[in-house]
Structure 1
Amino acid sequence: MSTDLSRRRALAGLAASAALPASLVSAPALAQAWPSKPIRMVVPTPPGSSVDVAARLVAERLREKLGGATVLVENKPGAGGTIAAADVARSAPDGHSLFVGFNGPLATAEHVFPKLPYKPLEAFAPVIATVSQPHVLVVNANDPAKTLGEFVARVKAAPGKANYASVGNASASHLTMELFKSAAGLYIVHIPYNGGPAATQGLIAGDVDALFTAYVNVQGPVAAGRLRVLALAEKQRSPRIPQVPTFAELGLPQVDAPLWNAIVAPAGTPADIVGRLNQAIDTVLAEPAIRDKLAGGGMEVIGGKPEVLARMMRDESAKWLPVTRRLGIKPD
């Protein structure tokens, strides 16, 4: 009798499962089988950029943390990171497509791209905030301006003749320069480049006069005496470049624009897959060897739960909305 009763209960359980919506049955099974194919980490900047460097360090160790899974880094630069972001936003929410983004495409792009094909706060499931980076204003080492004050005076003496590079429309480098221009009363022409390396080369070549960028993008040329750092766009000095003053110290506290990188998945990705990704990546970021390599590139680990990143994205979006409206920033 007990055997018959067990068999009847088992059959009843199967019948109940069959009656459930497919989404409720498939999600746990999907998570258990994950990853079942290569994981794409889509990077919105060219190889060699700060975002790319951090992504490749994580990808290399993530393979081992996920039991030998294939993790591929795919570079898709352009449009301030929104091309890559849109790619991942429309991908299947199965944990096999990740976007390695930054402030722009994850929080501020919708304020400057009127036809953006995704809404950052709705299109993604936050996975983890990875690193922060010193955000600096740099000029060519041959520029006669040795300080921020001298640079401001030089630009004001010839309005409209100076220009600046950005790493792309709607990027942090674009928005921060516009914020600086507004705070200091400057007129400088915008010349967008396709990523940090190209913008840096343009500055080294003398094609542009200034650039806001992550310090990791310029630390080599700065050390070689080809570029000069004028100021840091954050509230406090960075331990990586303690000699560089902040804009607040130099009388422009409005110019506060810290940089951060993060990893997100398409909205709807099962919570347990997001949790496994978060735990694995957080473990990678905690490794001393990884921290040392990131620090060597001028990056500090953030880490933490998905909720930390979700809050960062909300706060960043709210912070820049009134700024972009006031400045009337639109894609060139």
Structure 2
Amino acid sequence: MMDRRDFLATSLALSAGATLAQTGARLTRIVVPFAPGGVQDILARSMSTELGAALGQTVIVENRPGAGGTVGTAYVAKSAPDSGTMVLAAASHNISGSLYTKLPYSPQKDFAPMAHIGTAGYVLMIHPDVPAKTAAEFIRYAKANPGKMNYATAGVGSATHLSMAYFNGLAGIDLVHLPLKATGEAINEVISGRAQAVIAASIGALAFAKDSRIRLIGVTSPKRSRYLPDVPTIAESGLSGYQFDSWFGLLGPAGTPAAEISRVNAAMGKLLKDPVILERLDKQGIEPQAMSNADFGRLLATDYERMANVVKASGAKVE
């Protein structure tokens, strides 16, 4: 059964589509391949209105969650190149290419890089009942209690999943995976005590920096985050060599006209100079970075290889 929030969201989307059809105006659709309230959803909604203004058209955000983000991503891959449909993608986009043995699309070949938005680190968060204040102490406790602790994620194949699977593999520990639909849900599982750990993007972790119900013990970036300067890196606090971060950007279907790619890229470049947008990104723990679609394409190719190595090191695989 559709709940009230889903009903309202669907009604608004249908209403917007009907109005646009009547006026002949063009609709741009940003597909978020995860549930409402997650990292990509918050980011997409924080700038959709301004992006629409920069493009001179209406932009709607549509959630299509499922299978670690691959359902919504496949939808965009199969959309018409001139449909105005894009996916707000992140690290999980490239992760899926190595994590899943079968995908209904190619993360590299079936998408056109439209606009890079920025990057974000992740944070290891644990329930305060776990007797650990550093990554090293957490690893020691996990080794003393194999198979007795859960880690929550935004779903199989998500960045929250692979970042923790990678952590487990490097540390040689055995935590049980508890897949959910969004980062917010995963954090709530740790707060409730039903799970003991989660690695969440900064956007999902910053609000809990001073919350006694959850403890932040390490950031995944190679150096300390300017958003959480008192939290050490995981590498410096107990797991040498560990590093994980994510890019965020808009991808369209392969074959998207060059003029449309340039138009979206220019609009995003304009937004990333807007003090209002920059303040929102700062609050989400995202370091903004505009780049050409060609540079974004090169970043995607390099990141694909990097994530393939991370997946291999994690030992994670989805049939």
Is TM-score (shorter-chain normalized) higher than 0.5?
A: yes
Distance 1:252 1:224, change over 3 A: closer
Aligned partner letter, 1:126: P
Aligned counterpart, 1:190: 177
Question: Is the aligned partner of 1:250 residue 2:237?
Answer: yes
Distance 1:252 1:94, change over 3 A: same
Aligned counterpart, 2:209: 222
Structure 1 residue 45: Cα displacement: 2.1
Aligned partner letter, 2:67: A
* Cα pair 1:231 1:247 within 8 Å, conserved: yes
Structure 1 residue 253: Cα displacement: 3.3
Aligned counterpart, 1:141: 128
Q: Deviations over 1:46-99 (max 9, x none)?
A: 2222211221122110121122x1111001122111111100000000151011
Question: Is the aligned partner of 1:82 residue 2:70?
Answer: yes
Matches within 5 A, 1:86-105: 86-105=74-93
Aligned partner letter, 2:27: P
Separation in 2, partners of 1:188, 1:91: 38
Aligned partner letter, 1:317: Y
| Secondary structure, counterpart of 2:248 in structure 1 | strand
Aligned partner letter, 2:88: V
Aligned partner letter, 1:73: V
* Cα pair 1:45 1:196 within 8 Å, conserved: no
Matches within 5 A, 1:58-69: 58-67=47-56, 69=57
Distance 1:95 1:309, change over 3 A: farther
User: Unmatched 5+ residue regions in structure 2?
Assistant: 1-23
Give 2:100's match in structure 1, choosing from 106, 113, 118.
113
| Secondary structure, counterpart of 2:241 in structure 1 | coil
119-128 or 315-324, larger mean C-alpha shift: 315-324
* Cα pair 1:176 1:255 within 8 Å, conserved: no
Matches within 5 A, 1:115-194: 115-194=102-181
228-237 or 305-314, larger mean C-alpha shift: 305-314
RMSD: 1.6
| Secondary structure, counterpart of 2:239 in structure 1 | coil
Aligned counterpart, 2:42: 53
* Cα pair 2:168 2:314 within 8 Å, conserved: no
Identity across the alignment (%):
35
Aligned counterpart, 1:330: 317
| Secondary structure, counterpart of 2:209 in structure 1 | helix
| Secondary structure, counterpart of 2:231 in structure 1 | coil
Separation in 1, partners of 2:277, 2:314: 39
Q: Deviations over 1:161-182 (max 9, x none)?
A: 1111111111122112121112
Q: TM-score, normalised by structure 2?
A: 0.88
Question: Is the aligned partner of 1:302 residue 2:316?
Answer: no
Distance 1:242 1:228, change over 3 A: same
* Cα pair 1:145 1:151 within 8 Å, conserved: yes
Distance 1:269 1:164, change over 3 A: same
Aligned partner letter, 1:51: Q
Give 2:58's match in structure 1, choosing from 66, 70, 75.
70
* Cα pair 1:46 1:197 within 8 Å, conserved: no
* Cα pair 1:95 1:274 within 8 Å, conserved: no
Q: TM-score, normalised by structure 1?
A: 0.85
Structure 1 residue 267: Cα displacement: 0.3
Structure 1 residue 183: Cα displacement: 1.5
Aligned partner letter, 1:256: Q
* Cα pair 2:134 2:237 within 8 Å, conserved: no
Structure 1 residue 123: Cα displacement: 0.6
Separation in 1, partners of 2:158, 2:168: 16
173-182 or 115-124, larger mean C-alpha shift: 173-182
Separation in 2, partners of 1:172, 1:66: 30
| Secondary structure, counterpart of 2:79 in structure 1 | coil
Aligned partner letter, 1:205: S
How many equivalent residue pairs?
A: 296
* Cα pair 2:136 2:239 within 8 Å, conserved: no
Structure 1 residue 326: Cα displacement: 4.7
